[in-house]
């Protein structure tokens, strides 16, 4: 049967696809029909590719579903099949693929497909699908039975993507001897045990094994892969010592991520110069300090360096003139922030994270030289002084500024706030937000009341966090000019005065925390116009008056306003009179405490009465207990009488 006629018969199997064919079909000439998503050979006019990627189809066809793939076997010249995002309800979906002798590329990424079973794998016994070179089954919830199929094709596979599935057990040794394999991604599964020897995979360029349960490396075969460019084994349970032998022949290595394991680096007295120059080095939570491996300081091309949670560290960035992302958070770094961070080697910094150390002193003015900074996080230290005005004057590209949990003091000066306006002014006329480049991978920010680690979505954040300091005075009116701001946290300071009446101009605000200050006055009516506001905390201030009406502010829980005795209106108690003072109702915690106290006293009285009468009734009913009880007290009384009489006689 002609491939075109076959497609006309089988494409209606796809929901809505009949409409898709007739809408998209067009005559090209000589009776040839062209469909979007169907690739035909120019010479044979046979179908060689089906690209029905759900994300690329017209919006009318999103959510396609296939309940039968048997018709695929008739497309004998098919070399590419892309059903990404399509729901496949055919329990025997492998059967339709097994006879595609020319199939080289198979993309079933994010497909909702039935789970593999031992019986379904029988379709691949002696199948002709051994020509398959590229396979993408990521995000399909497959189990470890998929390995039974892939082992038979390990000699032909070039690229394998199995990330974000439910694959458990051990990694097959066959992957370590696939001489043509260039890309292997098994991240986001439940793999256990050791990483097998990879000595035979001499063509391997990228190896992704992150977010599994792997416990160690089998030998030092990783160091024998001359073409390996990316090695990512982060977020596992790897243990042991990492030495030079693990990197001996990695001439092409550009990205090394060993973070969030229990690995330690072998200390050597000599300076070993590795055969590679890294662009990205991530060793978070590895044991490095206090002496960083000397070979790290030979890496002059590093643009992303993550040494967070790694212990005490020396200045290791001086030779890294291309550094754009530096994460030294959660270490034991003490003293002042090194002034070397503001020198020429760090002028290209885009992200600087120094949170949760023991840093003291003031923010060094040298940081003003890092004018490309978009993220500055020095929270959780012992820094002090006023918030420098030069932050906004020089660091005009900042998108995230976190100075929380330090000892900054004094007032927020007007010129300081004015200088911050460029930080948050990137809001386009269509309402879209300026984005941080995606290579700022992640940051821990205090967002909507809790610490959250953001990765891809970080580029949408524009955040200022000055919480948990000793800042006093009024909130400058210039904060209301920060109209592109997404999150503002000034909680746990000593701020006084009113909330600015123009706060409603901060139309992009999603999170506002002004709790635990001494703010007074009424809540501005303009706050009811903050349509994106999803998190609000005004508790423990001296605010008064009626909460502005509307679902935006009155939809929050009463705890948001707790500790403001003069506030009223929903969700608090109704106002007694216009503008008059009114008592604040007890919070949920106070009510629970009162209920707890009442229950405690009632239980105590009941227990006393029950115990007292229990003893009395027992003495009345049981003669032996009664004789023993009164005999005890009689002997005790006689002893006290005799002892007292003897003592008094001696005194005379």
At residue 14 the predicted structure's pLDDT band, cuts being 50, 70 and 90, is: very low
Q: DSSP state, 211?
A: S
pLDDT higher at 182 or 244:
182
CATH 3.80.10.10 in the chain, residue ranges: 443-585
CATH 3.80.10.10 fits 443-585, yes or no: yes
Percent of residues, the chain, with pLDDT higher than 70: 77
Of the ranges 37-51, 160-174, 321-335, 563-577, which is most confident? 160-174
Instruction: Classify domain 1-132 at the CATH topology level.
Output: 3.80.10
At residue 55 the predicted structure's pLDDT band, cuts being 50, 70 and 90, is: low
pLDDT higher at 183 or 28:
183
Question: CB-based contacts of 636: which residues, under 8 Å, 6+ apart?
Answer: none
**Other C-beta atoms lying within 10 Å of the C-beta of residue 117:** 12
Question: Residue 623: is its pLDDT beyond 60?
Answer: yes
Q: Model's pTM, two decimal places?
A: 0.75
For residues 225 and 250, the answer to whether their CB atoms sit within 8 Å is: yes
Question: Residue 596: is its pLDDT beyond 60?
Answer: no
Tell me: the pLDDT tens digits for 352-367? 999 999 999 999 988 9
Q: What is the dihedral of CA 305, 306, 311, 314, to 10 degrees?
A: 20
d(CA 303, CA 350): 10
Q: DSSP state, 503?
A: G
Least confident of 5-9, 25-29, 527-531: 25-29
Query: How much is the average pLDDT of 125-131?
Result: 58
Percent of residues, the chain, with pLDDT higher than 90: 30
pLDDT higher at 303 or 96:
303
The pair of structure tokens assigned to 522 is 């009424």
pLDDT at 427: 32
Question: Residue 457: is its pLDDT beyond 50?
Answer: no
Helix (H) or strand (E) holding 640: helix 623-651
At residue 517 the predicted structure's pLDDT band, cuts being 50, 70 and 90, is: very high
Pick the closest to residue 49 from 151, 134, 140, 156 (CA basis): 134
Distance of CA 413 to the CA centre of its chain: 34
Question: CB-based contacts of 320: which residues, under 8 Å, 6+ apart?
Answer: 299, 300, 301, 302, 305, 345
pLDDT at 4: 59
Distance of CA 156 to the CA centre of its chain: 36
End-to-end CA distance of the chain: 133
pLDDT at 146: 87
The mean of the pLDDT values for the chain is: 79
Query: How much is the average pLDDT of 438-444?
Result: 46
pLDDT at 182: 95
Helix (H) or strand (E) holding 33: strand 32-34
Question: Residue 72: is its pLDDT beyond 90?
Answer: no
Helix (H) or strand (E) holding 595: helix 588-621
Q: DSSP state, 427?
A: B
d(CA 49, CA 58): 18
pLDDT higher at 415 or 587:
415
């Amino acid at each position: 049967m002609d491939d075109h006629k076959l497609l006309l018969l089988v494409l209606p199997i796809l929901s809505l696809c009949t409409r898709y064919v007739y809408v998209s079909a067009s005559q090209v000439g000589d009776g040839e029909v062209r469909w979007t998503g169907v690739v035909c050979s120019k010479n044979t006019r046979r179908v060689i590719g089906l690209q029905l990627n759900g994300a690329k189809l017209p919006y009318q066809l999103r959510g396609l579903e296939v309940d039968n793939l048997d018709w695929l076997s008739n497309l004998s010249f098919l070399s590419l099949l892309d059903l990404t995002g399509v729901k496949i309800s055919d329990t025997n979906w492998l059967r339709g693929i097994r006879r595609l002798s020319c199939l080289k590329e198979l993309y079933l990424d994010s497909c909702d497909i039935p789970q593999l079973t031992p019986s379904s794998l029988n379709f691949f016994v002696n199948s002709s699908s051994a020509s398959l070179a590229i396979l993408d089954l990521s995000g399909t919830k497959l189990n470890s039975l998929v390995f039974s199929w892939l082992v038979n094709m390990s000699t032909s596979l070039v690229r394998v993507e199995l990330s974000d599935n439910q694959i458990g057990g051990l990694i097959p040794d066959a992957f370590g001897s696939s001489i043509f394999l260039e890309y292997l991604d098994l991240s986001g599964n439940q793999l256990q045990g050791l990483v097998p020897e990879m000595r035979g995979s001499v063509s391997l360029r990228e190896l992704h094994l992150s977010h599994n349960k792997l416990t160690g490396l089998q030998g030092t075969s990783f160091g024998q892969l001359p073409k390996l460019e990316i090695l990512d084994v982060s977020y596992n349970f790897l243990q042991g010592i990492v030495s030079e032998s693990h990197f001996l022949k990695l001439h092409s290595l550009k990205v090394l991520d060993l973070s969030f394991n229990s690995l330690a680096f072998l200390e050597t007295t000599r300076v070993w110069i590795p055969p590679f120059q890294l662009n990205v080095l991530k060793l978070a939570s590895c044991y490095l300090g206090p002496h960083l491996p000397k070979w790290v300081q030979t890496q002059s091309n590093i643009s992303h360096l993550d040494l967070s949670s790694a212990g005490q560290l020396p200045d290791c960035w001086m030779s890294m003139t291309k550094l754009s992302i530096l994460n030294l958070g959660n270490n034991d770094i003490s003293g002042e922030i090194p002034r070397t961070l503001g020198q020429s080697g760090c002028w290209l910094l885009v992200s600087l994270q120094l949170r949760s150390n023991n840093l003291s002193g003031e923010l060094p003015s040298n940081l003003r030289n890092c004018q490309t900074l978009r993220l500055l996080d020095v929270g959780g230290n012992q820094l002090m002084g006023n918030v420098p005005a030069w932050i906004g004057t020089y660091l005009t590209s900042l998108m995230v500024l976190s100075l929380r949990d330090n000892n900054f003091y004094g007032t927020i000066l007007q010129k300081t706030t004015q200088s911050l306006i460029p930080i948050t002014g990137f809001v386009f006329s269509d309402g879209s937000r300026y984005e941080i480049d995606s290579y700022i991978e992640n940051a821990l920010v205090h967002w909507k009341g809790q610490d959250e680690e953001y990765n891809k979505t970080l580029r949408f954040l524009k955040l200022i966090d000055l919480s948990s300091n000793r800042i006093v005075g009024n909130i400058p009116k210039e904060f209301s000019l920060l109209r592109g701001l997404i999150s503002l946290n000034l909680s746990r300071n000593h701020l006084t005065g009113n909330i600015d009446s123009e706060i409603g101009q901060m139309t992009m605000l999603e999170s506002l925390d002004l709790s635990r200050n001494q703010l007074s006055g009424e809540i501005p009516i303009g706050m009811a116009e903050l349509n994106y506001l999803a998190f609000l905390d005004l508790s423990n201030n001296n605010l008064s008056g009626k909460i502005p009406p509307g679902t935006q502010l009155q939809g929050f829980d009463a705890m948001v306003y707790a500790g403001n005795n003069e506030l009223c209106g929903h969700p608090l108690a109704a106002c007694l009179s216009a503008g008059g003072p009114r008592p604040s109702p007890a919070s949920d915690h106070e009510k629970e405490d009162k209920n707890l106290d009442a229950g405690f006293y009632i239980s105590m009285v009941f227990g006393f009465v029950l115990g007292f009468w229990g003893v009395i009734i027992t003495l009345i009913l049981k003669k032996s207990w009664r004789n023993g009880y009164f005999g005890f007290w009689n002997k005790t009384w006689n002893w006290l009488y005799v002892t007292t009489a003897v003592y008094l006689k001696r005194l005379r």
